[in-house]
Amino acid sequence: MVNAAQSRLRVAVVGAAGYTGGELLRLLVAHRGVDVVAATSERLAGRYVHHTHPVLRGRSSLRFATRSAVPECDVVFAALPHGDSEAIIDELRGCAPVVVDLSADFRLRDRGDYQRWYGRQHARPELLDTAVYALPEIDRPRIRNADLLATGGCVATAAILALLPLAAAGVVDTSRPLIVDAKVGSSAAGAQPSSSSHHPHRSGAMRSFAPTGHRHTAEIIQETGLDNVALSVTAVEAVRGVLVTAHVPLADAGVDDRALRAIFRDRYGGEPFVRVITETRGIHRYPEPKLLAGTNFCDVGFERDPHGARVVVMAAIDNLGKGSAAQAVHALNVRAGLDECAGLDFAGLYPT
């Protein structure tokens, strides 16, 4: 059992060579409540982690190890490709009583959703009911008692935080389509070059990536309860960042700006990492991913359509931060009873 009474938690990062693993290490080596005892890469075993993640120069003397060399610890973070964590979940649990998985392997509670959205049968469906979606703004009580935590997808995280207050307030017209348009940076495709992420293919490009059928739709429906969501994803020339623009039909045309502000304020007024943007003037009056690079913040804003029963909700995050590694560290803090902001105090840079 992980608890705050321990002086420092022993943590390991499995699959630490990718962008998400590197971001986890950057956050964890600066976290005063943890000691990183292992970072694994089967391909790079023996090499210093700072050779792959240069921001760790002078911050960590760790070398990549193989999974078999991971010592007993309190928490294992799995930053592995989709499908890998479920295949080795028993091995991960043998290293630590708490596993935080950053892949899609345990995000969905319905085993049928893996066939529908990922085109495969889940290898360990009996564990899906025990896994907890690791976005603290949704369900802290369950996170505090979970031994298997699954962080949300980056697009899903931004969309859920944009839509959840309206869904919970019952003001969404579920008989009409709810369009979620997401713009994503290239790091969301991972560290290995591909036709979608390699620089010559991304330079100067704005390209539809998944106009329909994106896998993160399943998470949005699951966590908001809205089944009228249609998600479209576009790749843009940026390295980090997700910007979600959701066109939400309102069930009551009388829901005005004041009521909408109250809905978002009531939901997020006590949240340390969700900021509701209320500026009405200036170039920064809407959420911007660039301002959030390296942070665990999600900025949410909205604008009521004066010509119809519609509100446009915008949410911005760093896909490697709030959309992945920082969300995982936030969940660790909640699970261990630590200060929720521990290791996550970076406020971003401006200008960049």
What is the sign of the dihedral through the CA atoms of 275, 326, 178 and 237? positive
Contact 149, 227 (CB under 8 A): no
Answer whether residue 3 is part of any domain: no
Percentage of residues in the chain having pLDDT higher than 90: 86
Q: Percent helix, strand and coil across the chain, each rounded to 5?
A: 30, 20, 45
Residues 182 and 313 in one domain: yes
Q: Do 133 and 185 reside in the same domain of the chain?
A: no
Is the dihedral angle over the CA atoms 62, 66, 72, 77 positive or is it negative?
Answer: positive
132: CATH: 3.40.50.720
Taking residues 179-190, what's their average pLDDT? 81
Task: Using pLDDT thresholds of 50, 70 and 90, give the confidence band for residue 191.
Answer: low
Q: Is residue 177 part of a domain?
A: yes
| pLDDT tens sequence across 254-273 | 999 999 999 999 999 999 99
Domain for residue 47, yes or no?
Answer: yes
Provide mean pLDDT across the span 188-193: 60
Same-domain check for residues 163 and 85 = no
More confident residue, 244 or 193: 244
61/125 same-domain check:
yes
Write down the pTM of the prediction: 0.94
Indicate whether 296 and 161 sit together in one domain. yes
Catalytic residue of the set 73, 95, 154, 298: 154
Same domain, 128 and 164: no
* Whether residues 269 and 326 fall in one domain: no
Please give the Cα distance from 2 to 332 (Å, whole number). 9
Q: Is there a catalytic annotation at residue 154?
A: yes
One domain for residues 123 and 217 = no
Claim to verify: residue 163 and residue 306 sit in the same structural domain:
yes
Residues 6+ positions from 285 with CB-CB distance below 8 Å: 277, 279, 301
HSE-up (13 A, CA, CB side) for residue 166? 32
Residue 199 has pLDDT above 60, yes or no: no
**Model confidence over 211-234: pLDDT tens digits?**
888 999 999 999 999 999 999 998
Give residue 39's domain range.
Answer: 9-152+322-336
| Domains in the chain, number | 2
252 in the same domain as 103 = no
CATH at 239: 3.30.360.10
